[in-house]
Amino acid sequence: MCEEITYDAETFILDKFEFENGKILEDVLVEYTTFGEPKYDSEGKMNNVVVYCHGSAGNYNSVKKIHPLTEDIFTEDKYFFISFSALGTPNSCSPSTTGLKHDFPEYTIKDIVNFKRKFLKEKFGIEKIHGVIGNSLGGYMALTWAANYPEEVEFIISLVSGFKTAGANYASSKIVQRIIESDPNYLTGEDDESLKRTLQMAALMEFPLGFSRDYYAERDNEELDLSISDYCEEVILDNIYDIKFRNDAGLLYNIEDKLKNITAKVLIIAINEDRYFPPKFDAIPMSKLIKNSKLVIYDSKLGHIGSVEIKKIEKEFKEFLNSL
C-alpha cells in the first residue's frame, strides 16, 4: 500500500536512559534515519527539523507513508526529517533487542517521547524542533510531546490517532493483553512455538478493525481467508514481548487533561471509516479541546489503514504548512 521505498538506517548509542518508573538501562540503542537538508538559525541551531513517529507496527522506515507528499510539500530542501524506530521497537532498545524479554522496564508513551528527545539532544544538539508528525500510535507520541513540552514544538500533525485509548480500541488492546498473559510460557520465555501461536491469536483480534466495513463486505470469504493467512505470516515475524509492552503502553495513554497545554499549531487528520479512531469519538472532540487546531476528515475504504491515501488531502496540508 505504501510506495516501495527504503531509507537507510543508522544507529546511535545513548550512554543510558531513565524510564518514568526510575529504572535505568545503559548502552541504549537507537535506530533512525534522516533525509533532507538541515538549516540553521543565527545561533547555529537547526530550525527545520521534523520528527516522524510511526505506528504500532512500524519502524524508522514507516516515514515512507508521507513520501507521496515530499515532492510538493515536505521538500527535502526545506525540511530535515528524522524518523526513529521507537523505544520498544526491534533494532532500537526493546525487549527483544536487549534480550530482557518480560524483564524489560515497563514504559509509557511519555518514555517513548523522552527517548527521542534524549537522542536529539545527544546526537544533534537539538532541543527544539519545528514539527512532529505521528501516525496512529505515533500520533499519541506527537500529542504527548506537544502537551508535556509545549515550548519545544512549533507544529504537530496527528494522523488517524486520538487523545486517549478508549472504546473498541481499548477493548481490543485489553484482549490482546489477556491472551498474551494467558500463555504459561510468557514469563519463562520457553517454548517458542507456543509463544508464536499465542502472538498470532492475539494479533488476529485486531484484524477485523484494520479496514472499513465496506472493505470486508466487498471481499468473498476465500479472499478474506487468504488475507488472514497472510496477516498471520507477517505477525510471526514479530516478537511477543515487543508487542506486549507496546500494547500495554498504549493502554495507559490518556492526555485529555493536558491538551490545554498545547501551544503548537495542530493539524488533526481523521478518516470517516476508521474503526480504531472514529472521528466522532476522537478527532472531533480533540479538535475542540486543542486551541490552534485544524481538523480534516476524509473518506477511505481502507479504514484505519487509509492513511496511505494521504495524497487525498494534499491541498489541506499545503494550507496548514503555509499558515505556520
- DSSP label of 309: G
Rounded to the nearest 5°, which phi and psi values hold at 36?
105, 180
Say whether 225 is catalytic. Answer: no
Handedness of CA 145, 151, 152, 155 (dihedral sign): positive
Nearest-5° angle of CA 153, CA 145, CA 69? 65
Catalytic residue among 183, 242, 274, 282: 274
Return the residue matching grid coordinates 485529555. 256
Three-state helix/strand/coil letters over 127-171: CCEEEEEEECHHHHHHHHHHHHCHHHEEEEEEECCCCECCHHHHH
3-state secondary structure of 11: strand
Residues carrying an active site annotation? 274
